[in-house]
């Protein structure tokens, strides 16, 4: 691996020249700008852990392409054991950042594209699979961070991509050349985009025959000509941008995943970086597999975040003198129960993983969708209990400017102090952390990341094997198997 540490990762970003805007101004160095550096730090831990003996088995893998040791975030899963190690790694990273560390989306895109390109080639005699393996070998050897880009703006959602008044509402091919293609459009909510090295773009919906130009998978560097990134706003970003460390809540690692809008304005993609072009019947499998892998992850990374939140609330109860109250213990117990139930979903869909024709392993899609559906409920309930236990000061706490003010600072510290012997600053920091982890973008991302709750319910119904369940009931009742309904 060329990039072996967090410091080397940051240095590699400084060599790039992407076009990035935030709040109307150009960002020239994501490793130093206050809006982006927390997300850079979070992603850097995916590099740092691979060098630490305690985590090396989780954070690295053996490439099936080269036989060399690689970062797990560039690996194609070869077994249920690989899937389980990924889940364990994600929880550890969630615990260490209390935020999103961003490389999961690219990993899931890599695994979905690997298996689908193999099947495209088997049917059509194309060479997308070989192209993809060459690109992936490069990613593995360099240890590059890949931003997976799937969600399109979608425009008028009652219409398909080819029916839009503005065709750019979905990324599409506008011209085909002998040596590559030219693409136009945008991808939204792209996690870690501004501090990645490469963008892997995939279709966002199943496509019909008339949408051939939209059935495209490709990879480009983030500083490719014509690529513009617009960094999104997050909860408490003004506090963070002004350098308010306590009030930012999670100043070291950011609030969520540093999502950005990625715009492709007539971007040229060399042929060797085009992994699907026009094979519309494979748009559904790429979405299906990517979504399943990504939804499985949420039961791991979000439980890591929940571990931090549960720890913060438990310590806050000690600071405030309520730790022995029975209702406090009961609510913390419920938080732990929800957290571990969610984690078990991630483990289960990994254990039940199965090999695709390419050899790459898929998670169990039913259990992966159940896992993500649980995230949309359990994370919110854990957050609600945390807010309940924190109390009203969570919403009315004076800022750190007042805390450090020459005149009113002593008064603020005097009246936020609780249990004797514990610095009042501890209570302030805990409140801000809980505020950051239970409000704004963090919970929105838990609800809508990897698809809205309805998307999971649709997949759960499809994967429900209802005909098989009907047969079970008929067998028990001695109703003929092929009889009337």
Binning pLDDT at 50, 70 and 90, where does residue 120 land?
Answer: very high
Q: Cβ atoms within 10 A of the Cβ of 460, count?
A: 17
Structure confidence at residue 399 (pLDDT): 86
Provide the pLDDT confidence category of residue 255 given band limits of 50, 70 and 90: low
Give tens-digit pLDDT for 349-382.
Answer: 999 999 999 999 999 999 998 998 898 889 889 9
In the chain, the largest separation of any two C-alpha atoms, in whole Å, equals 84
**Range 147-176 average pLDDT:** 96
Q: Write down the pLDDT at residue 353.
A: 95
- Report d(CA 150, CA 152) in Å as an integer: 6
Alpha helices in 324-465 (DSSP H): 326-351, 365-390, 393-396, 400-403, 409-416, 424-438, 441-448, 453-462
Strand 19-22 and strand 227-231: pairing?
A: parallel
pLDDT score recorded for residue 483: 63
What is the pLDDT at residue 451?
Answer: 65
Cα separation, 361 vs 81, whole angstroms: 10
State the pLDDT confidence band at 218, using cuts at 50, 70 and 90: very high
Active site residue 294: yes
Task: Assess whether pLDDT exceeds 80 at residue 458.
Answer: no
Amino acid 468: pLDDT: 80
Q: Single out the catalytic residue among 294, 303, 339, 371.
A: 294
Domains of the chain: 286-471 (1.20.140.10)
Among 234, 264, 281, which residue's Cα sits nearest to residue 152? Answer: 264
Q: In the annotation, is 100 catalytic?
A: yes
| Lowest-confidence segment of 234-248, 293-307, 323-337, 411-425 by average pLDDT | 234-248
Q: Which of 113, 117, 191, 204 is catalytic?
A: 191
Catalytic member of 36, 197, 204, 259: 259
Residue 340 is a catalytic residue: no
Measured in Å, how far apart are the chain's first and last C-alpha atoms?
A: 59
pTM of the model: 0.89
Q: What is the pLDDT of residue 242?
A: 73
pLDDT one-digit tens code per residue, 278-303? 999 999 999 999 999 999 998 999 99
**What is residue 344's predicted lDDT score, i.e. its pLDDT?**
95
Please pick, among 55, 100, 114, 189, the residue that the annotation labels catalytic. Answer: 100
Quick one: pLDDT at residue 455? Answer: 73
Is 339 among the residues known to form the active site?
no
* Nearest partner of 216 among 278, 136, 290, judged by Cα: 278
Catalytic residue list contains 349? no
Whether 371 is catalytic is no
pLDDT of residue 485: 59
Report how far residue 86's alpha carbon sits from residue 109's, in angstroms, rounded to the nearest whole number: 15
Residue in the structure block whose two tokens are 């070998």: 137
What is d(CA 416, CA 434) in angstroms, rounded to the nearest whole number? 16
Active-site residue flag, 191: yes
With a pLDDT cut of 90, the percent of the chain lying above it is 71
Residues in the chain: 485
142 is catalytic: no
**Residue range 55-59: average pLDDT?**
96
Query: Residue 447 pLDDT > 60, yes or no?
Result: no
pLDDT above 70: percentage of residues in the chain:
94
Tokens of 473: 């009931």
**Given the structure tokens 């005699």, which residue do they identify?**
125
Structure tokens at 5: 């540490």
Out of 49-58, 126-135, 253-262, 304-313, least confident range: 253-262
Of 20-34, 81-95, 460-474, the one with minimum mean pLDDT is: 460-474
Residue 347 sits at φ, ψ, to 5 deg, of -65, -45
């Amino acid at each position: 691996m060329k990039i072996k540490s967090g410091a080397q990762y940051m240095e590699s970003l400084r060599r790039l020249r992407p076009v990035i805007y935030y709040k109307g101004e150009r960002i020239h160095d994501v490793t130093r700008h206050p809006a982006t550096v927390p997300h850079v730090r979070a992603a850097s831990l995916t590099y740092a852990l691979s060098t630490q003996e305690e985590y090396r088995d989780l954070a690295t893998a053996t490439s099936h392409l080269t036989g060399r040791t690689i970062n797990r975030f560039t690996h194609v899963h070869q077994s249920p054991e690989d899937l389980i190690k990924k889940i364990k790694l994600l929880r550890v990273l969630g615990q260490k950042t209390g935020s999103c560390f961003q490389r999961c989306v690219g990993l899931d895109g890599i695994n979905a594209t690997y298996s689908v390109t193999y099947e495209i080639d088997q049917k059509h005699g194309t060479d997308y699979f070989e192209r993809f393996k060459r690109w992936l070998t490069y990613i593995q050897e360099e240890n590059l961070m890949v931003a997976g880009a799937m969600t399109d703006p979608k425009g008028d959602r009652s219409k398909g991509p080819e029916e839009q008044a503005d065709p750019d509402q979905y990324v599409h091919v506008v011209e085909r050349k002998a040596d590559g293609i030219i693409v136009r459009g945008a991808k939204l909510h792209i996690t870690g985009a501004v501090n990645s090295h490469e963008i892997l773009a995939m279709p966002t919906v199943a496509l019909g025959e008339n949408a051939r130009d939209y059935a495209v998978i490709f990879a480009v560097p983030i500083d490719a000509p014509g690529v513009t990134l617009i960094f999104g706003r997050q909860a408490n970003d003004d506090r963070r941008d002004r350098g308010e460390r306590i009030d930012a809540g999670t100043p070291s690692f950011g609030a969520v995943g540093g999502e950005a809008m990625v715009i492709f304005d007539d971007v040229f993609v060399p042929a060797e970086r085009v992994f699907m072009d026009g094979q519309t019947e494979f748009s559904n499998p790429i979405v299906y597999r990517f979504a399943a892998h990504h939804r499985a992850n949420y039961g791991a990374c979000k439980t890591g975040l929940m571990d931090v939140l549960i720890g913060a609330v438990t310590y806050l109860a000690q600071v405030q003198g309520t730790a022995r109250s029975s209702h406090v213990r009961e609510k913390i117990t419920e938080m732990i129960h929800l957290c571990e139930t969610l984690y078990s979903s991630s483990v289960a869909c990994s254990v039940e993983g199965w090999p695709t024709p390419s050899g790459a392993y898929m998670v169990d899609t039913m259990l992966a969708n159940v896992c993500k559906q649980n995230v949309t409920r359990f994370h919110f309930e854990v957050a609600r209990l945390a807010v309940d236990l924190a109390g009203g000061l969570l919403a009315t706490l004076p800022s750190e400017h007042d805390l450090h003010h020459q005149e009113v600072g002593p008064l603020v510290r005097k009246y936020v102090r609780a249990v004797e012997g514990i610095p009042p600053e501890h209570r302030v920091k805990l409140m801000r952390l809980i505020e950051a982890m239970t409000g704004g973008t963090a919970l929105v991302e838990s609800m809508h990341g990897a698809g809205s709750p309805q998307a999971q319910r649709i997949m759960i119904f499809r994967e429900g094997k209802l005909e098989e369940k009907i047969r079970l009931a008929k067998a028990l009742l001695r109703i003929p198997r092929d009889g009337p309904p």
